Amino acid sequence: MDIWGAISQLFTDYTLRNVALGALALGAVSGIVSVYAVLRRQSLMGDVMSHAALPGIVIAFLITGARAPLPLFIGALVAGLIGLGLMHVITTQTRVKVDSAQGVVLAAFFGFGLALLSWALRQNNAQHAGINHFLFGQAAATVEGDVILIASVGAAALAVVTLFWKEFKLVSFDPGYARTQGMRVGLMDALMTALLIVVVTVGLQTVGVVLMSAMVVAPGAAARQWTNRFGPMMLLASAFGALAGLIGALISSSKAGLPTGPVIVLAASVIVLLSLLFAPERGLVWDRLRRRRMDKRFHEDAALEALAVMASHHGSAGHAHSLAAVEAYAGPGARRALRALEGRGLAQRSGSGRWALTAEGEAAARPLIERGRVMEVDGVPLDVRAQGVQA
């Protein structure tokens, strides 16, 4: 089945529709929280929290004995917040740096969760179905209830974000200033992180623990390339996340055995890559082109100036010089620059392969020479090269 087949099936196949809708909704929600993660330089928090949530999930599972979503969320949230508090204590009270604190919490909590899980699975042999999916994700098993769950969590997240729009924005960009305005920065911090934990927990069963960490970063990182404004960035990130989810779900359904989570993450990674390369203004490709254009212009101006200055030493504007002379003056890019000038009708080649200015070239060189004169300090021209040629 190809991708178009998958798209047409989207409207007929119940399972695929659920998977695609679930991935799309999850992507959109992840996109929202990813903006805060990227701006607050807490991109790795998604990774830490998706791991740290595990013991809470397992304990909730042990207590309730079932895979009911709400207790698992609460468990994940509590475990995540404990991890967060621990990291706070470690980084503010001791000299251990934030990366180590994150690493310890991530690995120790997750390890504890795994140990508990191995115990839980033996205790509740009959009912353990589904708990494994929290680790590795199983998007293909998305049912309508999951879609509704993701959508309602998304709506709740949206409500929180709207409610605290101004506060979250200020704390993300300038926590110090936010504090001087009497804002409860610590509380807002915890709230944003709680939001992240909730989204991560919902996502775990779709794309799995490792890959969920990418989903709460990639959309925001991609959106950041396209705009400098907070609101549009949020919208874009959400759209990118949804797009990655949809594309990932479609591609993975088009080929047997293709796991959905990794494909979604790759789709998100491709969106980031394209954004890095081609986003207007910040795009690396435009950057490179701009630099090349400036380089070219610089070399052409240098060659033009060289021809004009050398000609003036000979007292005749049309005096021709060898390529070597121009290179000595304008640097090794001179050959290509002279050809470009010839193309622009500013320079011409005489019969013996020597170069001279045309009348237009002479006119074009005049402002450059003027500019050179301006660059004098105490009557001494800054252009030392011209002095050298004269001598």
Partner 1 sequence: MNQAQIEIQLVAAIVAAACALPGCFLVLRRMALISDAISHTVLLGIVLAFMVVGDLHSPLLLIGAAAVGVLTVFLIEALLRTGRVKEDAAIALVFPALFSIGIILISQNFRGVHLDTDVVLLGELAFAPFSRVEVLGASLPRGVAVMGAVLLVNTILLLVFYKELKVATFDRALAASLGFAPALLTYGLTASVSVTAVGAFEYVGSVLVVALMIAPPAAAYLLTNRLSWMLGLSVLIAVASALIGYWVARAFNLNLAGTMATIAGLCFMVALVFAPERGLLSRASLRRRRRARFAVEMLVMHLSRHENTEHEETENTAAHLTDDLMWTPAFAQATVRHASGQGLLVEADGVLRLTGPGRELAVQVEAR
d(CA 333, CA 302): 9
Binding residue (CB under 8 A) for partner 1 from 73, 109, 134, 168:
109
Q: How many Cβ atoms are within 10 Å of 26's Cβ, its own excluded?
A: 32
Please state, in angstroms and as integers, the Cα–Cα distance from residue 70 to each residue in 67, 230, 251, following that order: 9, 32, 31
Q: Which of 27, 31, 75, 113 binds partner 1 (CB under 8 A)?
A: 113
Residue 187 has phi, psi (to 5 degrees) of -65, -45
The residues that bridge with 380 in the sheet, in sequence order, are: 377
What one-letter code names the amino acid at 67?
A: R
Least gap, CB of 10 to partner 1 (angstroms): 22
Binding residue (CB under 8 A) for partner 1 from 115, 274, 294, 363? 115
Please give the single-letter amino acid code of residue 21. Answer: L
How, if at all, do strands 347-349 and 355-357 pair?
Answer: antiparallel
In this structure, are residues 185 and 171 in contact, taking their beta carbons and an 8 Å threshold?
A: yes
User: Is residue 140 part of the contact set for partner 1 (CB under 8 A)?
Assistant: no
User: Which residues, at least 6 apart from 391, have a Cβ–Cβ distance to it below 8 Å?
Assistant: none
Cβ 333 to partner 1, closest distance in Å?
25
| Residue closer to partner 1, measured from CB, 99 or 174 | 99
Q: Does 46 bind partner 1 (CB under 8 A)?
A: yes
- Residue 173 binds to partner 1 (criterion: CB under 8 A): no
Q: Which of 4, 14, 119, 177 binds partner 1 (CB under 8 A)?
A: 119
Task: List binders of partner 1 among 242-271 (CB under 8 A).
Answer: 255, 257-259, 261-263, 265-266, 269
Pick from 7, 10, 44, 235 the residue near partner 1 by CB under 8 A: 44
Q: Which residue has the tokens 């796991």?
A: 259
Q: Would strands 376-377 and 355-357 be described as parallel, antiparallel, or unpaired?
A: unpaired
Q: In a 3-state reduction of DSSP, which class is residue 228?
A: coil
Identify the residue among 79, 87, 243, 272 touching partner 1 (CB under 8 A).
Answer: 272
Task: Candidates 6, 26, 90, 202: give the one binding partner 1 (CB under 8 A).
Answer: 90
Token representation of residue 379: 């009557």
Q: Is 97 or 313 the residue whose CB approaches partner 1 more closely? A: 97
Q: Among 72, 188, 218, 237, which residue sits at the site for partner 1 (rule: CB under 8 A)?
A: 218
Q: Are 49 and 80 in contact (CB under 8 A)?
A: yes
Return d(Cα 195, Cα 193) in angstroms, integer. Answer: 5
Which one of residues 10, 235, 284, 325 is an interface residue with partner 1 (CB under 8 A)?
Answer: 284
Q: Which is nearer to partner 1, 214 or 311 (CB)?
A: 214
Residue numbers of the site for partner 1 (CB under 8 A)?
A: 38, 41-44, 46-47, 51, 89-90, 93-97, 99-119, 122, 135-136, 208, 210-211, 213-214, 217-218, 220-221, 224-225, 255, 257-259, 261-263, 265-266, 269, 272, 276, 282, 284
